[in-house]
Structure 1
Amino acid sequence: MTTEKTWQPYIYLNSSESAQAYLEKIYKRTAGLNSTELSYQNSCSFMYYLMHAESFYTQAGEAPPSIKPMLLFYGLTQLVKACLLTRDPGYPETTSVLAHGVTTRKKKKQDYLFLKDEIRIQKNGLLHHSAGTLFGIIELSKDRFSMEDLLRRIPEMERCFQLLGQKRKTFYLTDKNGLLCLPSEAAVAYHLSEQRLAEMIGHHTGLKPSETNGCWGFEKKDLSPFITSLFSYHHETGQYSLPADKEELLVLPELLTHYLLLYNLSMISRYETEWWYDLIQNRSSNDYIYIRRFMEITAWKIPVLVWEYLAEEGGLAR
């Protein structure tokens, strides 16, 4: 799962002095004259969030599958809190932002299938606050998501779906001299012109569409694997993609996708013990494969995505 190399860059923020210098640099752009005081106040919290996250992820790498989801979920929440301090020096100002902000059905039905399970977004809590503060998203596309919807938003899961017989084409953007061109096949599948597709994506993301030699797309420098919401980013290939169906175009950054999946899995591992142990010990359905593959991906991808965000915000060398 997670490796020492994944966490190696974080060591440069593992002292209160370096954490304060990092935050002060960011706060000077946003908080002005209060930057020194605010960075001093938040430096230890910021550093401890990152250190605590690393502890959770490291333990998840050594833990049995039965408790991995809980460790990964709480590790992710610590990283989210560290990110929030870069944008919201007053975090947490109220107790309402401390709750998880999501809910799921506690008691699973007898014919329960993980892919069909749903999770609902609440109006307050850490997820809602993160969506607004980190990504500028006031309202998500939907207030509930199925596990299949969420897993399909993680491009590294595509091979898993294909091997298990659920082949649905993913459309990858092509890089033409720094312009990421939208695939014409996606426009056809969505019943839109390429220009209209570019304009729709621009409307939801704030990105400015460009056109060169009949190719509609977006400047690569304007996209970020961390910030992007309608697109997905395959970290192993470095490609951005769009889903097979227009209905799957969700305003949901990947960090929050992992948050929702891990929250549900952590709840299942705590409260649906019989189903959970039957799955991981007897491997009674393909749910085991989807869940195992996802936990392998999330263990390394989230720390990498968060570091890229922190490096970009603070002007750190990657």
Structure 2
Amino acid sequence: MHNQFLYQNTPLLPYQNTENSRSFLQNTYYSLNWPNAEEAAYNNCSRFIYSLEHGDIFLKQSTQAPMEIQPVLSFYGLSHYIKACLLAVDPAYPATVHVLAHGLSTRKKKKQNYSFLSDEVKTQRHGLFGHFSEKMFHVKHLEGFKLNMNDLFMQIPELAYIFSFQTKQFPFHPLKKNEVGLYSLTTQILDDYQMTENRLADFLKQKTNERILIQQSKKNTLLLKISTGIPPAPCRFNILENQWVFSRYKTAEAFYPELLIYYPILYNLSMIARYETEWWYDLLKLAPGKEFSLIKQFLNISTYKIPFLIGEYLNRLAR
């Protein structure tokens, strides 16, 4: 967790002044063919900056707060960051009150033998989760789709070493970039996905909208061409190891951008911290199960991975 100060503070600073943010919003609105782009950028500029600053404050407080309330602070920090991002791609946000709700729901907790890793949240017809999924990442969710906490945790590369310690299975394969700009991936992924090379090539082409193409294979290695510069999901960037990795699991969540992973986990943890205090304090005081280590590391990572991901998203828009 070296560079914590760096990751937590620098990615979003270029956007936190009026001149830069107004120019940034104006350019994104032009690319959307939005009528009166200059006026819309002028009107949204302050709200954009303040949303980023408010997100900063919540996450900074989370680093200083006891673990008991960290999920609440981190969730609201992420929510404000997302609202800033939405202003960049949806100049009329919020157009209706329907997009103001969280967009997810938790199931009633069972008091006995409750396991966070087996818990689920459900997507709702309206709300922030569905709205930013579609507007920012063009991902649509069916109402009532269930998101499993274990499946989501498995998509966070900075948790992989804890999973490997607990289960002896590593959730990711490393990706290595060679001198001609191709990424090498072990052919073990064919067994993981239970696919032939041709089937995997078609699968990745379809799932990533041709952003990941299998260029060739040699020995025990597949060579991938990434057309977007930054590898998309199921590739993840581990900021602790400074390493790109590739998910070994072909679940729906493997193809979600990472912000879509963080939001439901933090939503669920924040609801537990607010309304399921008995289970929450048992977890924190007694550390009874393996999920304690995962949750603690997740909360630690969130405070600087989230600004990193938000900065990465805004920078892609700015290019």
TM-score (norm. length: structure 1)? 0.90
Paired residues of 1:141 and 1:252 also in contact (CA < 8 A): no
Further displaced range: 91-100 or 163-172: 163-172
Paired residues of 2:103 and 2:123 also in contact (CA < 8 A): yes
Paired residues of 1:131 and 1:137 also in contact (CA < 8 A): yes
SS in 2 for 1:64: coil
Question: Residue 14 of structure 1 aligns with which residue?
Answer: 16
Question: Residue 236 of structure 2 aligns with which residue?
Answer: 232
Question: Residue 192 of structure 1 aligns with which residue?
Answer: 195
Q: Distance in 2 between matches of 1:147 and 1:249?
A: 10
Q: Distance in 2 between matches of 1:180 and 1:311?
A: 22
Q: Distance in 2 between matches of 1:249 and 1:56?
A: 26
1:100-157 Cα deviation digits (max 9, x unpaired): 1111123333111111111111122111111111111124799112211010000111
| 1:265 lines up with 2:265 in the alignment | no
What letter is aligned with 1:188? D
Unaligned runs of 5+ in 1: none
Q: Distance in 2 between matches of 1:178 and 1:3?
A: 29
Question: Residue 138 of structure 2 aligns with which residue?
Answer: 136
Question: Residue 307 of structure 1 aligns with which residue?
Answer: 311
Paired residues of 1:140 and 1:252 also in contact (CA < 8 A): no
What does 1:208-223 correspond to in 2, within 5 Å?
A: 208=211, 209-212=213-216, 217-223=223-229
| 1:159 lines up with 2:137 in the alignment | no
Question: Residue 287 of structure 1 aligns with which residue?
Answer: 291
**Distance 1:10-1:232 versus aligned 2 partners, 3 A rule:** closer
Deviation at 1:286, TM superposition (A): 2.1
Q: Distance in 2 between matches of 1:217 and 1:81?
A: 37
Q: Distance in 2 between matches of 1:141 and 1:186?
A: 31
| 1:274 lines up with 2:290 in the alignment | no
Of all paired residues, the percent bearing the same amino acid is 35
1:200-237 Cα deviation digits (max 9, x unpaired): 01111202424246575543351536xx3333332333
Paired residues of 1:141 and 1:251 also in contact (CA < 8 A): no
SS in 1 for 2:111: coil
**Distance 1:198-1:172 versus aligned 2 partners, 3 A rule:** farther
| 1:58 lines up with 2:60 in the alignment | yes
Deviation at 1:59, TM superposition (A): 0.5
Q: Distance in 2 between matches of 1:140 and 1:186?
A: 29
**Distance 1:258-1:130 versus aligned 2 partners, 3 A rule:** same
Q: Distance in 2 between matches of 1:216 and 1:159?
A: 24
What does 1:233-248 correspond to in 2, within 5 Å?
A: 233-235=237-239, 236-243=241-248, 245-247=249-251
Q: Distance in 2 between matches of 1:221 and 1:139?
A: 26
**Distance 1:32-1:275 versus aligned 2 partners, 3 A rule:** closer
**Distance 1:169-1:117 versus aligned 2 partners, 3 A rule:** closer
1:43-75 Cα deviation digits (max 9, x unpaired): 011011000000000100110110000000000
**Distance 1:39-1:298 versus aligned 2 partners, 3 A rule:** same
Q: Distance in 2 between matches of 1:83 and 1:52?
A: 13
SS in 1 for 2:246: strand
Q: Distance in 2 between matches of 1:274 and 1:148?
A: 21
**Distance 1:32-1:129 versus aligned 2 partners, 3 A rule:** closer
Question: Residue 298 of structure 1 aligns with which residue?
Answer: 302
Aligned length: 312
Task: Choose which of 205, 209, 213 in structure 2 pairs with 1:206.
Answer: 209
Deviation at 1:169, TM superposition (A): 5.0
Question: Residue 123 of structure 1 aligns with which residue?
Answer: 125
What letter is aligned with 1:186? I
Deviation at 1:180, TM superposition (A): 2.2
Question: Residue 171 of structure 1 aligns with which residue?
Answer: 173
What does 1:7-46 correspond to in 2, within 5 Å?
A: 7-31=9-33, 34-46=36-48
Deviation at 1:313, TM superposition (A): 1.5
Question: Residue 90 of structure 2 aligns with which residue?
Answer: 88
TM-score (norm. length: structure 2)? 0.89
Q: Distance in 2 between matches of 1:219 and 1:192?
A: 19
Further displaced range: 273-282 or 75-84: 273-282
What letter is aligned with 2:204? I
Q: Distance in 1 between matches of 2:222 and 2:301?
A: 31
**What is the CA RMSD across the aligned residues, in angstroms?**
2.4
